[in-house]
Structure 1
Amino acid sequence: MPTLHRRDRRGDTPPPRTGGGEAEVLRGFLDYLRASMAAKVAGAPEPQVRSAGVPSGTNLLGLLDHLASVEGAMFLGQEVTDWQATFRAGPEDGVADVVARYERTVERANAVLDGCADLGAPLPRMRPGRPAPSVRWALVHMIEETGRHAGHADILREQIDGATGR
């Protein structure tokens, strides 16, 4: 494991200070976590970014690939048939590819959310025949999901090259 030097530590970015509206607070925290997650993966070295840091096989690149799939399923109605497979980025996918795919998915998800004025309304979905959660539920779920995996990513990135902070 590398020795951490003071200059290797990144500063920690505090949570956002948003307005008082519920939608603004929820979206502010989700965007904060999304940016933290993308930054944690960006610049991580190959092949360590794919190396399992724990016995379950969890790896840094796979976490971001998984979150892109969750965002796509939740906000864009994309079908996922094998959730476990979403934790493994393809061998042809480099770090920059997965980060860019995640950011594009987030951008498309935000476009959907921009059209949702009522947090209690069902989330617009492209998958007919399946009940849609409320926009509020989807935002809270994505905050929880992204925050949980961002914590995993913090540990995995520190194991790879000692980088810390958001």
Structure 2
Amino acid sequence: MQEPSPRPPTLRLMQAGTAGEREILEAFLDFYRDVLVHKVRGIDDDAAQRQLLPSPTTLIGLVKHLTVVERNWFHRLTDTIPDVPLESEPTPSWTIIDTDTLDRALAAYDQACAQSRTAATGFALGDVVSHPDMGQVSLRWIYIHMIEETARHTGHADILRELTDGATGILG
């Protein structure tokens, strides 16, 4: 059986092997964003909301949480978010409410990622922004933190998806 051709973020990551620092950081972050989306596609809302662990971690909760994380970090560049810690969000990102659907969560995540890409445009990696708890952080730090955060939670999604229906693999 022939392997499917790589999706654009996967291809971009493979082509970034000798690219500049920013292109590599962006390629890795987009790769993990894409993997997360592919991990949750193809399941219904009940499966996405199913709590399979003692913690409140669910597939839809992971998408909602990473949406908040995108907004909390990149949107700081354009001052489009209030300086509030994640715990004080009106609806904590891990909490599932009646109106939550996977389609809505993925649309919000896609929008937050697009806004993050736009917010980063025009800033150099060494440019800094203020953070209420850390003082200042550079765009470079934000990229690295977001790669770490997105990859870690994508790993959680990988395990939850396997527990849900047995699907495994980077884009499965």
TM class by shorter chain equals 0.7 to 0.9
Structure 2 counterparts to residues 24-63 of structure 1, below 5 A: 24-63=23-62
Deviation at 1:46, TM superposition (A): 2.4
Equivalent-residue separation in structure 2 for 1:27 and 1:111 (angstroms):
12
TM superposition outliers: structure 1 runs of 4+ over 3 Å: 10-15, 127-132
Check if 1:68 corresponds to 2:62. Answer: no
State the TM-score, normalizing by the size of structure 1.
Answer: 0.82
Equivalent-residue separation in structure 1 for 2:165 and 2:38 (angstroms):
14
Q: Find 2:142's aligned residue among 134, 138, 143.
A: 138
Letter in 1 for 2:157: A
1:129–1:143: structure 2 CA closer, same or farther, 3 Å change rule? closer
* Alignment root-mean-square deviation, CA: 2.6
Aligned length: 154
Check if 1:99 corresponds to 2:103. Answer: no
Structure 1 unaligned segments of length 5 or more: list them.
1-9
Name whichever structure is richer in strand by fraction: 2
132-141 or 76-85, which deviates more? 76-85
The residue number in structure 1 matching 2:93 is: 86
1:83–1:42: structure 2 CA closer, same or farther, 3 Å change rule? farther
The residue number in structure 1 matching 2:163 is: 159
Letter in 2 for 1:133: V
Q: Find 1:122's aligned residue among 124, 128, 137.
A: 128
Deviation at 1:40, TM superposition (A): 1.1
- Secondary structure in 1 matching 2:93: helix
Equivalent-residue separation in structure 2 for 1:151 and 1:133 (angstroms):
26
142-151 or 130-139, which deviates more? 130-139
Percent of aligned pairs with the same amino acid: 34
Letter in 1 for 2:111: R
Deviation at 1:114, TM superposition (A): 1.6
- Secondary structure in 2 matching 1:76: helix
Q: Deviations over 1:48-106 (max 9, x none)?
A: 21111211121110001000000001011324452692112432021110000000000
Letter in 1 for 2:22: A
Letter in 2 for 1:157: R
Larger relative contact order, structure 1 or 2 (CA cutoff 8 Å, min sep 6): 1
Structure 2 unaligned segments of length 5 or more: list them.
none
State the TM-score, normalizing by the size of structure 2.
Answer: 0.79
